[in-house]
Amino acid sequence: MNLERELADIVGDDHVLTDPSVTASYTTDWTGRFHADPGAVVRPGTTEQLAAVVRVCAAHGVAMVAQGGNTGLVGGSTPRVDEGLQVVLSTRRLTDLGEVDTVAREVTAGAGVPVSSVQRAAKAAGLRYGVDLASRDSATIGGTVATNAGGLRVVRHGTTRAQVRGLQYVLADGRVVDRLAAPPQDNAGLDLTGLLVGSEGTLAIVTAARLRLVPPETTAGEVTLIGCRDMTEALSLIPPRGVRAAEVMLASGLSLVRRVGGLAQPLEREHPVYLLLETDELPDLPDDIDAAVDPALWAYREQHTEAIATEAGARGTVVHKLDVSVPLERLGAFVDALAAATTPYDVFVFGHIAMGNLHVNVLGATDDEVDGRVLTLVAQHGGSIAAEHGIGIAKARWLPLTRSAAEIDLLRAVKAAFDPHGLLNPGVMLPG
Ligand code: FAD
Ligand code: MLT
Ligand code: ZN
């Protein structure tokens, strides 16, 4: 039987999309850098439907690209040009959100539930979800699990991995594994749930997650923007405790955000580096420091991604988003060396400083040569070429820079164990 007909028999005609004017938002990534036309976009409404779709695709030998909110920044959620016929498996209709368990402090969310919906449900129950990111209204629980998203509260609560208590997922042959109700302590065999977190849709398709919630903060907190000489000074001003968020931006990004967003000069003077802190109490700062305290100062940091995308669009180009981390003691040296690695392009650097995680956004590059230069620099500084966004297809070829041949052999063996026919997200994560 025809593939499209079989898929429609499972999910209904309305949920198999093939018209390019309808599929466009599923087939181009958030940055506009990656695009390909798939065979179809399929939108199952239940785990059972998703499993049946996987079985049909597997029977036809058709590759599947899992997609949540399509806010990923490494080209992992859209089809790719050189992998033949692919079905985009959208999880956006998997929106069941269970009751918050206020005793266990947990909630179960379908893969398609946006992060902000979990945040709201947690808040209504007097709790919080520990992950927050500017894409909160579109990014899904499944996508954030698959990428092990970090975000703005990572210094306080860790990455998504630290929030995942259990998962339900569909294997490449269509079997469903349900570990949602796993007890808090469970050493019975290898931690397969942990392995799936951060697997970028290459091992299985996540259909639901059991998430840990955290108690509310006891005070409103203080948001302080601080002008700094350099990265080293910014690092030295992060208090040893009571830190809810610690973010960094360089002057070029701050001035772009001001221009695009029409925002006022936030401090008395301009500075090479800006540190944004959210802390339990006002931080202890030197007397002569240029700083301001106001929750609205978050806008200067949160608007970076949108402002850079807007600027790229205005210049008729796309942004190369490099999300890297280096050990804290190498952060200053790394940023100093970046200028040479990114010449002659415009570069905007910002990120989650307490984790050594910088987002290096390059504008104007027409191929990925500059990616190689920056990522090689990261390797030379003992860092990681993918701190929180994943490898996707954007960085697969660069993985050997920071993972050994032995590690890559193991990654390939794990992939083959989960997906022997290479049908789940081909081209993602592993170098070709
Ligand atoms: P998608 O983009 O749809 O998919 C991402 C990857 O996960 C793909 O490889 C896809 O195949 C896979 N996948 C998706 N759903 C599933 C599933 N159910 N099962 C298996 N695999 C799946 N990221 C951060 O880490 N921190 C940030 O602070 C942050 N801020 C952002 C701000 C903005 C404005 C934007 C646009 C993006 C930001 N991101 C950030 C990146 C992005 O939001 C995250 O990577 C997020 O986790 C992606 O979720 P998604 O639902 O959009 O996933
Ligand atoms: C952020 O921290 O704002 C994100 O990871 C998004 C980005 O890198 O643009
Ligand atoms: Zn980030």
pLDDT at 328: 97
Report the C-alpha gap between 355 and 313 in whole angstroms. Answer: 30
Do the Cβ atoms of 147 and 209 come closer than 8 Å?
no
Please list every protein residue whose CB sits less than 6 Å from any atom of ligand 2.
Answer: 73, 134, 304-305, 321, 323, 351, 359
The minimum-distance atom of ligand 1 relative to the CA of 388 is 25
What is the per-residue pLDDT across 216-244, written as a single tens digit (0 to 9) for each? 999 999 999 999 999 999 999 999 999 99
pLDDT at 38: 76
- How is residue 318 written in tokens? 């796309």
What is the per-residue pLDDT across 117-175, written as a single tens digit (0 to 9) for each? 999 999 999 999 999 999 999 999 999 999 999 999 999 999 999 999 999 999 999 99
- Beta strands 319-325 and 357-363 are antiparallel
Instruction: Show me where the domains of the chain are located.
Output: 3-90, 106-212, 222-380
The minimum-distance atom of ligand 1 relative to the CA of 204 is 20
Q: Whose CA is nearest to atom 6 of ligand 2?
A: 305
Does ligand 1 come within 6 angstroms of the Cβ of 140?
Answer: yes
DSSP 351: E
Q: Please name the fold of domain 3-90.
A: 3.30.43
Do the Cβ atoms of 385 and 74 come closer than 8 Å?
no
Is pTM beyond 0.85? Reply is: yes
- Beta strands 40-42 and 86-90 are parallel
| Distance between Cα 18 and ligand 3 center (Å) | 33
What is the per-residue pLDDT across 311-347, written as a single tens digit (0 to 9) for each? 999 999 999 999 999 999 999 999 999 999 999 999 9
What is the per-residue pLDDT across 363-422, written as a single tens digit (0 to 9) for each? 999 889 999 999 999 999 999 999 999 999 999 999 999 999 999 999 999 999 999 999
106-212: which CATH architecture?
A: 2-Layer Sandwich (3.30)
Report the 10 Å Cβ neighbour count for 340: 9
| Distance between Cα 138 and ligand 1 center (Å) | 9
Do the Cβ atoms of 52 and 102 come closer than 8 Å?
no
281: phi then psi, degrees, rounded to nearest 5? -130, 165
Q: Does 185 score more than 90 pLDDT?
A: no
What is the per-residue pLDDT across 58-78, written as a single tens digit (0 to 9) for each? 999 999 999 999 999 999 999
Q: Which amino acid is at 229?
A: R
pLDDT at 113: 99
Q: Does 1 score more than 80 pLDDT?
A: no
| Distance between Cα 266 and ligand 1 center (Å) | 30
- How is residue 204 written in tokens? 């299985």
- CATH entry 3.30.70.2190 includes domain 222-380: yes
Name residue, tokens 């779709």.
53
Mutate to test the pocket of ligand 1, among 27, 117, 135 (most ligand atoms within 8 A of CB): 135
| Distance between Cα 8 and ligand 3 center (Å) | 38
| Distance between Cα 7 and ligand 2 center (Å) | 35
**What's the pLDDT band for 81 if we cut at 50, 70, 90?**
confident
